[in-house]
Amino acid sequence: MDEFLFTLSFSIVPLITVNLFALVAPPLGATLSLRNEILLGIALPPVGSAVIAGAIFFGVSPDAIVLLYLLAAISIFLVMIVLPLNVGKKRISLRRRELILAALFCIGNTLVMVLMSISPRVEAHFRNLLQGELLAVTGIELTATAILTIILIVFGFLFRGVIYGYSLDEEGLRITEKSYTTITLSFRAVATLVITGGIILIGPLLTTSLLIVPAFLTERSCRGLDRFMVVVMGVGFFGSLLGFLLAVVTDLPPAPVSVCVIIAVGYISQLLFGRQ
Amino acid sequence: MESSAKKTILDLNNASFGYRSGRVQNTIVSQVSFSISLGEFILLVGPNGCGKSTLIRGIFNLVPSFGGSITWHIPQSEIGYIPQESNIDHDIPATALDVVCSAKPFAWSKTKLQGMAALESVGMEAHAHKRFGALSGGQKRRTLLARALFGKPRLLVLDEPTVNTDMETAENIEKILVDLSSRNEVAILATTHSQNWASMAKRYHLEGGRIRG
């Protein structure tokens, strides 16, 4: 027990960071799944990771976290803006859109591996982070994450009707709401913020898993959108908390262990609530 | 002074719509002109493929315009719309009440009671808390109608409102729309390929992308 607490004391900052992300990433993933855009949750982390690996390869210092964050955020935001939608005059089919995102996933991961393997500048911290291991998170990063998390949760709660309307029937919203463009850009900006922060602070594996796994495992056992959002937050939060603690106990990498526990918690919630 | 029954909601003047494929412009609806006023019930009738849905989508700027003009005399927020194919996935955890209340997204927490009233107006109050995907085709159509009516629109646009519904549901929807129209509070523009539905409505026949009579 003493050894556990001693080890935990060194991991408390990453633990809190993971759990803060686990409060915002799952509802974002749930929203993406409602919009048939869950493949963004798979394709965008590798895009951001590839930009980070590329920036370091081309000379950006691995310590220049703010610059790396900005570069990753701009690339992710551009992909979301440029990617053709399923609504409007230039709409493409969902199938075609999914193919594009699947291709981005492949290209992003390939670039990450190639750039990491040939670049002596991608030092241990980033190498392990991009491979899915959680390492150091500073106090400043934790503070910024905490503030942004609180802001996102408060605004997400206050404007949840807008999120639901935008998710259920984007074309209808486009017809009836003159603030449609503002809503679209705001959603894309929030998604960029969460995904980019996740890649840099908790790694692409845990970011992608928090976006996808809670929504995937709980949507059939939820009735009602408010309940769906609360359940995905609960699964994400408790799954990542227990997973991280289990990783400390077993001395295994925290990201994959957390993913396994999130899956387990998701299945348990399915059993508890049943299929609706 | 113009009476409220004659207030013009929408003017189309020689409007043409279609699709672009690369540089090729494919005009589906050509030089269509009509107006719709409060209290009117207008039906666009025509066979499959004549351009009814393209015309509706063109009015809402969802397909390219190739000429003419569209003039709106009401704000966007006063439009209610039901597309031919619902954009709402059948496998999502939203309830019928969620679907209705999402029509007024900025007032989500205040609208549950009003949402229930909208569902009651179409006979769907007993199914309010069921998952939308668990409803039958006719029940989904009625829920979408409740959603379109929820914000008290002044123009209700319905693209094939009775498609994939049984006769009883089609008659129920017709009855609701006729009742709305008779109260002069809303204008209704609907499309259908059925020659018999809503026989009292003013009909425009669409053939080859043009209105005949």
The pLDDT-based confidence of B4 (bands split at 50, 70, 90) is very low
CA distance B119 to chain A (A): 16
CA A233 to chain B, closest CA, distance in angstroms equals 15
User: Measured between alpha carbons, how far is A163 from B116 in angstroms, rounded to an integer?
Assistant: 21
What pLDDT, on the 0 to 100 scale, is given for residue A89?
Answer: 62
Q: pLDDT-based confidence at A117, cuts 50/70/90?
A: confident
Domain membership flag for residue B124: no
- Confidence class of residue A34 from pLDDT cuts 50, 70 and 90? very high
B80, B87, B105: residue with CB nearest A161: B105
Q: Chain A: give the shortest CA distance to residue B54, in Å.
A: 11
- Answer yes or no: is pLDDT of A71 > 70: yes
Mean pLDDT (chain A) is 88
> A164 and B61: CB-CB below 8 Å?
no
pLDDT of residue A152: 96
Q: CB of B109 within 8 A of CB of B158?
A: no
- Between B152 and B119, the more confident residue is B119
Q: DSSP H helical segments within B14-51, as ranges? A: none
Q: How many domains does chain B have?
A: 1
pLDDT at A51 over 80: yes
Is the pLDDT at B3 greater than 50, yes or no? no
In Å, what is the CA distance from A98 to each residue of A43, A76, A91, B29, B85? 10, 16, 13, 31, 21
Closest by Cβ to B131, choosing from A160, A166, A276: A276
Q: Is residue B41 part of a domain?
A: yes
Residues of B in contact with A160 (CB under 8 A): 108
Q: Are A84 and A97 in contact (CB under 8 A)?
A: yes
First to last CA, chain A: 42
Range of the domain at A228: 2-273
Domain-located, residue B178: no
In a domain, B145, yes or no: no
By DSSP bridging, strand B187-192 and strand B41-45 are parallel
Give the per-residue pLDDT at A123.
66
Q: What is the pLDDT of residues A8-22, one digit of tens each?
A: 777 888 899 999 999
Most confident of A119-128, A145-154, B139-148, B166-175: A145-154
Show residues of chain A in contact with B102, CB under 8 Å.
161, 164-165, 168-169
- Are the Cβ atoms of B81 and A176 closer than 8 angstroms? yes
Average confidence (pLDDT) over B174-202: 83
Yes or no, beta carbons of B151 and A176 under 8 Å apart: yes
Q: Give percent of chain A above pLDDT 70.
A: 89
CATH number of the domain to which A179 belongs = 1.10.3470.10
Name the closest residue on chain B to residue A162, using Cα atoms: B105
Where would I find the H helices in chain B? 52-59, 96-101, 112-121, 137-150, 167-182
- Lowest-pLDDT range of A111-125, A184-198, B35-49: A111-125
What CATH number does residue B15 fall under? 3.40.50.300
| Residue B24 counted as domain residue | yes
Q: What is the pLDDT of residue B1?
A: 41
Percentage of chain A exceeding pLDDT 90: 51
Q: Could you count the other beta carbons within 10 Å of the beta carbon of residue B35? A: 15
pLDDT classification of A116: cutoffs 50, 70, 90: confident
Domain range holding B204?
1-74+155-165+184-213
- Assess whether pLDDT exceeds 70 at residue A52: yes
The answer on pLDDT for A74 being more than 50 is: yes
Q: What pLDDT is recorded for position A131?
A: 59
Residue B60 forms part of a structural domain: yes
| Inter-chain CB proximity A165 and B81 less than 8 Å | no
Put simply, whether B25 touches A (Cβ < 8 Å) is no
CB pairs under 8 A between A and B: 98
Residue B195 forms part of a structural domain: yes
Contact check, Cβ <8 Å, B63/A168: no
Confidence of residue B2 (pLDDT cuts 50, 70, 90): very low
State what percent of residues in chain B have pLDDT above 90: 42
Query: What pTM, to 2 d.p., does this model score?
Result: 0.89
Least confident of A85-94, B44-53, B54-63: A85-94
B190 found inside a domain: yes
The ipTM (two decimal places) reads 0.88
Please count the structural domains in chain A. Answer: 1
Distances, alpha carbon A186 to alpha carbons A10, A69, A81, A179, in Å = 36, 18, 11, 11
Q: Give the mean model confidence (pLDDT) for residues B120-127.
A: 92
Give A64 or A189, the one with higher predicted confidence: A189
- Rounded to a whole number of angstroms, the distance from the CA of A64 to the nearest CA of chain B is 40
Distances (CA, A) of A56 to A53, A123, A263: 5, 9, 33
Residue from A171, A176, A178, A183 to probe the interface with B (highest B Cβ count within 10 Å): A176
Of A164, A171, A220, the CB nearest to B98: A164
Going by their DSSP bridges, the two strands B155-159 and B79-82 should be labelled as parallel
| H helix or E strand, kind and range, residue B80 | strand B79-82
- The answer to whether the CB of B170 falls within 8 A of the CB of B162 is yes
Q: Cβ B93–A168 below 8 Å, yes or no?
A: no
Q: Is the pLDDT of residue A125 over 70?
A: no
Separation in Å, CA of B124 to nearest CA in chain A = 16
